[in-house]
Structure 1
Amino acid sequence: MSLDLKFGVSTWLWTSPFSTETIALFPKIKAMGYDLVEIPVEDPALVDIVRVKAALALHELEPVICGAFGTSRDLTHDDPAYHKTSMDYIEACLDICVGLGAKFFAGPMYSAVGKARLVSAEQKQVEWERAVTNLQKVCVQADARGLEIALEPLNRFESDLINTAQDVMQLVQDINHPAAKVLLDGFHMNIEEPDIEKAILLAGEKLIHVQVSENYRGTPGTGQTRWDAYKRGLTTIGYTGAVSIESFTPEVKELAGAVCIWRPLVPSQDGFAQEGLQFLKKWAAEPLPAAPASPINYQTL
């Protein structure tokens, strides 16, 4: 059974920050065969909605809007001023979603990326409750605009709050708003999930977007990722959304430093995008792989 998917790519593969001038990438992205483009909004002021919308229409690309949550954007911070900064930024991104015709706003918006500490259970509960309360407000804002939010778990080196599908599903349950949905990113899953297929099944109907790269952030199909597990999981839940490549270029030093890419992962970023899409289309079209045999329990032998 093949998967009926759309395929996207993040402009972070080539550049940062996204600005109106980044629309120069759109013809190339479309010519490669992509259906959509991920637009990471680091600074909403850099996005001319009218021009970007016209470029999307001209090149027949759908937009996915993703957030960038640096240290100043933290809904779990002890200082409420950070909550205000975060909410203002999120609201601006929601308006960009509406202006460009996106259906949801995605990202790890519960806390600042890189906030990874060993804290007490009491402090973690306080921050969890702040995330829930503030994201309930975000959901109300999104719903008023006809949008959803896609909450993304991050690996342990980038967040101490939400690392797994189980974590994010608990967060969605506590938010208890229909606009709260889930994004799963394969890079983080390859670090945190014991079983990719089970993680996808746990997200189930809440899963509205999937990001992929290889386990080392490289081109899909060139590493250790269990693509068979992805295929079984997405097929079982009837996923019909997009699978989008997200990785980064070492040429943008600030971004590369933020995601700890210290060397080129590929000979060219264009090759990354082209070969990654070729692999993903072949993967989606192949027959559903059988589940692996149960592992041997050596304790019973």
Structure 2
Amino acid sequence: MSSAADGPDLAFHTAALPVAPEGDALAPVLLRLREIGYRRAVLPPLVPADTDAASLRTAFERADLAPIAMVGLAPGQDVSSDDDDERAAGRAALLAAVDLAVAVGADQLNGVPYGLFGKPAAAPDPAAFERSARVVGEVADLAAGRGVQLTFEVLNRYEEGLVNTAAQAVRYVEASGSDHLGIHLDTFHMGIEEADLPGAVLTALPHLRYLELGQSGRGDLGTGAVDVAGVLRSALAGGYTGRVGVEAFSRALMPGAVADALAIWRSPYDDGLGLAERAFQLVHHAASTRQLHPAVPTQQEVRR
């Protein structure tokens, strides 16, 4: 078991594992993640009406592991839409996701609450940015009143068009008018969109509530084009004390429809718990050596 002094408050995304997001199926996996040293596990987006929240909550409690919930919007629920009814449907979906987060015992709700997942057909409308931010900011305030931190993940241009960089994310928070809305950065997406990954983290730092570590090939954190350890060291040296997540995807371990939606065509690993162990070691080594590195590594270090 780990304690706060042992390193970052670390979460592992259960999508990296060949297990259904159900209490009975997840229970042994959650226990193993806790043995490795993780403090949290991330659930995929769930349909509230189809989810046995009580069994999930029990599985997490028995494992002494905290859940992080996720949300995504379906067609007809776009909070950036200029259609009042569609925005209202999106708002309702977000509030239902907050209800589910509370029911499973999560104090954080990650995901994409600001628009529809998928490659945009055209450049986003600035008015859509403002409409989305107002709705999401309102929901963030309501969620905070129920003990849930709402964050939004910054995706790359091929998965969403409204918010792609840390600088845009900060503007989105400002446009939301909320003091409770948080930013979720993911090094996989940052590797596509950001010219300076450590600098982007520092840009978002005042609002950063979740720093997710993912590699360019979606596999082991130590194999790929992103200097995951360097970004993490920089964030910690720059003063980040929030939650850190590990995410990976392998087609062989995922439902086909989910793999298709995320464009996961390959299988970079075949043992999700083995990947979890290696990621835990990488994160804790990076955290223990952060004082040996500058707060913001040079670009040569980032590319290493």
Question: Do both share a fold (TM > 0.5)?
Answer: yes
Q: Deviations over 1:119-145 (max 9, x none)?
A: 3xxx61221122022113212321331
The higher-RCO structure (CA 8 Å, 6+ apart) is 1
Asked if 1:269 is matched to 2:264, the reply is no
Determine the C-alpha separation between the residues in 1 that align with 2:19 and 2:95. 21
CA 16–189 in structure 1, closer or farther in 2 if over 3 Å, else same = farther
SS in 2 for 1:183: strand
**Residue 3 of structure 1, CA deviation:** 8.4
Q: Report the counterpart of residue 61 of structure 1 in structure 2.
A: 65
**Residue 292 of structure 1, CA deviation:** 4.7
Q: Report the counterpart of residue 110 of structure 1 in structure 2.
A: 114
SS in 2 for 1:68: strand
Asked if 1:92 is matched to 2:96, the reply is yes
CA 141–177 in structure 1, closer or farther in 2 if over 3 Å, else same = same
Aligned amino acid, residue 278 of structure 1: Q
Query: Paired residue for 2:26, among 7, 10, 23?
Result: 23
Determine the C-alpha separation between the residues in 2 that align with 1:236 and 1:274. 24
Determine the C-alpha separation between the residues in 2 that align with 1:124 and 1:3. 45
Q: Report the counterpart of residue 299 of structure 1 in structure 2.
A: none
Determine the C-alpha separation between the residues in 1 that align with 2:23 and 2:85. 29
Q: Deviations over 1:173-218 (max 9, x none)?
A: 1112111111111110111111111111111121111111212211
Q: Report the counterpart of residue 152 of structure 1 in structure 2.
A: 153
Q: Which moved more, 1:157-166 or 1:22-31?
A: 22-31
Provide the aligned C-alpha RMSD in A: 2.3
**Residue 112 of structure 1, CA deviation:** 0.6
Determine the C-alpha separation between the residues in 1 that align with 2:264 and 2:9. 28
Aligned amino acid, residue 168 of structure 1: A
Q: Within 5 Å, give how 1:236-275 maps onto structure 2.
A: 236-250=237-251, 251-275=254-278
8 Å Cα contact 2:214/2:246 also seen in 1 = yes
Question: TM (normalized to structure 1)?
Answer: 0.87
Q: Deviations over 1:91-146 (max 9, x none)?
A: 12212222333222112211011041223xxx612211220221132123213313
Q: Deviations over 1:225-259 (max 9, x none)?
A: 12354134312442222211122231311111111
Q: Within 5 Å, give how 1:147-186 maps onto structure 2.
A: 147-186=148-187
What number of residue pairs does the alignment pair up?
Answer: 291
Determine the C-alpha separation between the residues in 2 that align with 1:92 and 1:252. 24
CA 160–245 in structure 1, closer or farther in 2 if over 3 Å, else same = same
Asked if 1:9 is matched to 2:12, the reply is yes
4+ residue segments displaced more than 6 Å? none
Determine the C-alpha separation between the residues in 2 that align with 1:233 and 1:129. 31
CA 50–266 in structure 1, closer or farther in 2 if over 3 Å, else same = same
Q: Report the counterpart of residue 41 of structure 2 in structure 1.
A: 37
Determine the C-alpha separation between the residues in 2 that align with 1:10 and 1:39. 7
**Residue 169 of structure 1, CA deviation:** 0.3
- List runs of 5+ in structure 1 lacking aligned partners: 296-301
CA 206–77 in structure 1, closer or farther in 2 if over 3 Å, else same = same
Determine the C-alpha separation between the residues in 1 that align with 2:6 and 2:238. 11
CA 294–60 in structure 1, closer or farther in 2 if over 3 Å, else same = closer
8 Å Cα contact 1:20/1:47 also seen in 2 = no
Determine the C-alpha separation between the residues in 1 that align with 2:72 and 2:24. 19
Q: Report the counterpart of residue 203 of structure 1 in structure 2.
A: 204
Q: Report the counterpart of residue 132 of structure 2 in structure 1.
A: 131
SS in 2 for 1:215: coil
Determine the C-alpha separation between the residues in 2 that align with 1:164 and 1:76. 18
Determine the C-alpha separation between the residues in 2 that align with 1:71 and 1:185. 24
Q: Report the counterpart of residue 298 of structure 1 in structure 2.
A: none
What fraction of aligned residue pairs are identical, expressed as a percent? 26
